[in-house]
A and B are shown apart, each in its own frame.
Chain A
Amino acid sequence: MIEEEFDAIVIGAGMSGNAAAYIMASQGLRVLQLERGEYPGSKNVQGAIMYANMLEKIIPDFRDDAPLERHVIEQRLWVMDDSSHTGVHYRSDDFNEAKPNRYTIIRAQFDKWFSRKVREAGATVLCETTVTELVRDGRGKVIGVRTDRAGGAIYAGVTVLAEGVSGLLGTRGGLRQMLKPEAVALAVKEMHFLPEEVIEQRFSLKGGEGCVIEAVGTISHSMAGLGFLYTNKESISLGIGCLVSDFAAMRESPYALLDAFKSHPSIRPLIAGSEVKEYAAHLIPEGGYKSIPQLFGDGWVVVGDAAQLNNAVHREGSNLAMTSGRIAAEAIVEVKNRNAPMTKRNLSLYKTLLDKSFVVKDLRKYKDMPALLHTNACNFFTTYPRLMSQAAQNFMRVDGTPKIEKEKATTAAFIKARSRLGLVSDAVRLALAWR
């Protein structure tokens, strides 16, 4: 019988790993968390918007000392063509509340804070340590890990794989399949620094208010993709991401796409005069419900991006990560408190609880969306944005053309581009995938 030094090993100190380590350590479990970066957050990249509700369920008083940038009071959803944007903006003073709902954050800073909470809760956090292999017993149960540090294997009752989107250990260990190029997006991002008052002036903000923009359209060069701009206190996070399969097929360069997005007439004035201090790239799971792998087994569970838990339609990821980490930890604590072994059967409690949460319910709702957007990228990301821009401009521009003729021209343009059947079919398929 191998002596277990720890009740649980958590691999990775991102949102899901920190949530899991915090909950288990708070409940008195002996937790070891391993992180390959120099400090927690040094390998992590996110837009980033953080949703308060999911963090409140883990650290209720997080607002006291968490490094938060701005609380979001305005969200702009844009459809762009080469020279314009058409948008839905929602700005409300209701978001100026005692406990705001959404914040922009800077991950390297936020993750350091979260990790401090994990250590304060009693977990042992070891950075600069890459886990190289899962250790199994004769029956295949995961009983520990090997790392690139000197010394042998480290043993624990259960291993929480919070290793992030790439998920090397899980895929190499045969726990789940390799990511598919059409089920993952590559996003690149820059940090643009500007004085606080300049940001507040450009976006009509005051006192910690924030504004976020998310955009689809010709900016993604007919690939399935999204551009974003988030205001932080003294910086703007700006980026764009598209499916890896589309990047490969089109042989597009992400940095060229980013530079084109930055020089778009609707974006350029917002970042004018900024100083860029970092360029980052990261993958985002986009496969949705149908890509969720096996979530638990003998001696292990997988959480967060490694489990593909990302809602591409609503651009939510870190909250699903946090929640899956929390729920996995709660399931482990319950099994532990029953003095039961960490078997596949007992750890299935994690999936049972996750299925009841918003995480799986939301992903199930949009289960057909990834396939729809993947197979119709050109229509949804180029043809319709162009048509919408033309329609809006036709409607706004006053040039003596009778209104009835303008409306006929707009209708004709839609039919010419997609045909009557195509329009109906696109609408029906979108409605079905959204349902």
Chain B
Amino acid sequence: MTKPVTKLRVEDKLYQNRYLVDSGRPHIKVRPHERPSANLLALIHVCPAKCYELNDKGQVEITPDGCMECGTCRVLCEASGEIEWNYPRGGFGVLFKFG
């Protein structure tokens, strides 16, 4: 059972970081879909903050609170229109202490 362990580890990692979450204004949205494309599905594994998860209907959902704004999901899924990606409003989002 490696998955729950991995999940725990990422949350532990993200816990070290500083964020100013812009409540109610997620900077990334997943377009409603029936079946996710291969790239969208890959984000469940590839997103370094594990923001993407599969719901029980087999659709991909995002909770961008732990997002480090790397842009990987944008590179993989913006062209197809499956996600909408914007920078958070000025001052919001991840605030690296060391970078």
Interface string of A239-282 (1 = CB under 8 A from B): 00000100111011111100100000000000000001111111
Q: A247-B42, A281-B70 are in contact. Are A255 and B88 (CB under 8 A)?
A: no
* A81 proximal to B (CB < 8 A): no
* B13 proximal to A (CB < 8 A): yes
Is A42's CB under 8 angstroms from B50's CB? Answer: no
What B residues does A135 contact at CB under 8 A? none
Is A248's CB under 8 angstroms from B99's CB? Answer: no
Docked CA distance A127–B92 (Å): 11
* B53 proximal to A (CB < 8 A): no
Is B86's CB under 8 angstroms from A168's CB? Answer: yes
* A322 proximal to B (CB < 8 A): no
* B36 proximal to A (CB < 8 A): no
Is B48's CB under 8 angstroms from A283's CB? Answer: no
* CB interface residues, A 277-304, toward B, < 8 Å: 277-283
Docked CA distance A247–B49 (Å): 14
* Number of A-B pairs, beta carbon distance below 8 Å: 139
* B33 proximal to A (CB < 8 A): no
* B1 proximal to A (CB < 8 A): no
Which residue of B9, B10, B13, B68 has the most chain A CB atoms within 10 A of its CB atom? Answer: B13
Is A127's CB under 8 angstroms from B90's CB? Answer: yes
* A200 proximal to B (CB < 8 A): no
Is A255's CB under 8 angstroms from B46's CB? Answer: no
Q: A44-B96, A130-B90, A280-B99 are in contact. Are A179 and B46 (CB under 8 A)?
A: no
Interface-facing stretch out of A88-96, A185-193, A387-395, A402-410: A185-193
Is B42's CB under 8 angstroms from A280's CB? Answer: no
Docked CA distance A110–B48 (Å): 25
Q: A108-B96, A254-B46, A280-B96 are in contact. Are A165 and B71 (CB under 8 A)?
A: yes
Interface string of B48-73 (1 = CB under 8 A from A): 11100000000000000000111110
What A residues does B21 contact at CB under 8 A? none
What B residues does A46 contact at CB under 8 A? 99
Is A107's CB under 8 angstroms from B98's CB? Answer: yes
Is B90's CB under 8 angstroms from A186's CB? Answer: no
Distance (Å) between the CB of A314 and the closest chain B CB? 21
Is B90's CB under 8 angstroms from A128's CB? Answer: yes
Q: How many residues of A contact B (CB 8 A)?
A: 54
Distance (Å) between the CB of A189 and the closest chain B CB? 9
Docked CA distance A106–B96 (Å): 11
Docked CA distance A180–B95 (Å): 26
* CB interface residues, B 66-99, toward A, < 8 Å: 68-72, 74-76, 78-79, 85-91, 93-99
Is B48's CB under 8 angstroms from A186's CB? Answer: yes
Docked CA distance A154–B97 (Å): 30
Is A38's CB under 8 angstroms from B20's CB? Answer: yes
Docked CA distance A225–B52 (Å): 23
* A197 proximal to B (CB < 8 A): no
* CB interface residues, A 29-44, toward B, < 8 Å: 36-38, 41-44
Is B16's CB under 8 angstroms from A279's CB? Answer: yes
Give the residue name and chain of the B residue nearest to A185 (CB).
B72
Distance (Å) between the CB of A305 and the closest chain B CB? 11
Docked CA distance A198–B91 (Å): 36
Is B10's CB under 8 angstroms from A247's CB? Answer: no
* A129 proximal to B (CB < 8 A): yes
What B residues does A41 contact at CB under 8 A? 96, 99
Is B98's CB under 8 angstroms from A108's CB? Answer: yes
20 more A-B residue pairs beyond the given contacts A128-B91, A255-B6, with a C-beta to C-beta distance below 8 A:
A38-B91, A38-B95, A42-B99, A44-B96, A44-B99, A107-B98, A107-B99, A166-B71, A166-B74, A186-B48, A244-B76, A248-B39, A248-B76, A276-B16, A278-B17, A279-B13, A279-B17, A279-B68, A280-B98, A281-B72
> Can you list 11 A-B contacts (CB < 8 A)?
A42-B95, A106-B98, A106-B99, A107-B99, A244-B72, A251-B42, A253-B45, A255-B13, A280-B99, A282-B68, A283-B75
Q: Which 5 pairs of residues, A with B, have the shortest CB-CB distance?
A: A128-B91, A107-B99, A279-B13, A281-B48, A166-B71
